Homo-oligomer: A and B are copies of this chain.
Amino acid sequence: MLFRQLFDKTSSTYTYLIASGRGREAVIIDPVKEQLSAYLGLIEQLDLKLVRAIDTHTHADHVTALGDLRNQTSCITVMGEFTKADCVSEHVSEGDKIELDGIQLEAIYTPGHTDESFSFLWRQSHQQAVFTGDVLLIRGSGRTDFQGGDPRKSYDSIVNKLFQLDEDTLVYPAHDYKGMMCSSIFEEKYFNPRLAGKSEAEYAEIMNNLNLPDPKMMDVAVPANLACGQAN
């Protein structure tokens, strides 16, 4: 199995490259435009054929590499069915399975950070992992105050969908700002300070009072990402 977590320092974004091994088909999740050459270099060195590039949601803090990767590798671009990005070729719905050479990813609709966010569950023989985008972060969760965000939907996605997964499921988010690279459902269920022991109303109260500034790149990133990171 070939699994690479990659980090874009500027936006603290994690990107994931997955294949069954060298020389096999690959999928990339949440790629960042500025890292395109790094991805292409790694794909070439590992002799991979990139067949899918997925964005978990329309990011507001970085520009996606989806369009560039499609142009350079002829991969299929994938997002959830409710995305407003009309440049995306393949749309997934709850329970859809993305299948490639030895890899299966199951789409889970997890709105809350945005109204079009999906998570992707990767089942393996000895371990499973979920790519949560921004809805569930490590000991945190993605803000719910723009792009159709809703704290009650975030709570429902996390508690009633993600926390129902096996507790040993690894959690790989789209961001971390504190040097943590992965977590597990167990840890987030019992130690996420916004969620552990909190009711939906308590969670909504926390999320509605974060008072965060808008992401620096929001005015650039959102329109760019609706065009898959390509100039309109």
Interface residues of A (CB under 8 A from B): 1, 4-9, 22, 35, 38, 45-46, 126-127, 178-182, 186-187, 190-191
Q: A1-B127, A6-B180 are in contact. List 6 more A-B contacts (CB 8 A).
A: A6-B181, A8-B179, A22-B186, A38-B179, A45-B190, A46-B187
Find chain B residues with CB under 8 A from A182 CB: 4-5
Find chain B residues with CB under 8 A from A4 CB: 180-182
Pick from B5, B126, B191: contact of A126, CB below 8 A.
Answer: B126
Q: With A and B bound together, what is the CA distance between A9 and B178 in angstroms?
A: 8
Q: How many copies are assembled?
A: 2
Complex: chain B residue closest to A32, CB-CB? B179
- Would you call B187 and A7 a contact (CB within 8 A)? no
17 CB < 8 A contacts A-B: A1-B127, A4-B181, A5-B182, A6-B179, A6-B180, A6-B181, A7-B180, A8-B179, A9-B179, A22-B186, A35-B179, A38-B178, A38-B180, A45-B187, A45-B190, A45-B191, A126-B126
Sorted nearest first, the 8 A-B pairs with minimum C-beta distance are: A7-B179, A45-B191, A5-B181, A6-B179, A8-B179, A45-B187, A9-B179, A6-B180
Q: Is the interface of A mostly helix, strand, loop or mixed?
A: mixed
Q: How far is the CB of A159 from chain B (nearest CB, A)?
A: 19
Q: With A and B bound together, what is the CA distance between A9 and B7 in angstroms?
A: 12
Q: How far is the CB of A173 from chain B (nearest CB, A)?
A: 14
Find chain B residues with CB under 8 A from A7 CB: 7, 179-181
Q: With A and B bound together, what is the CA distance between A191 and B5 in angstroms?
A: 19
Find chain B residues with CB under 8 A from A9 CB: 179
Q: How far is the CB of A67 from chain B (nearest CB, A)?
A: 21
Q: With A and B bound together, what is the CA distance between A191 and B4 in angstroms?
A: 16
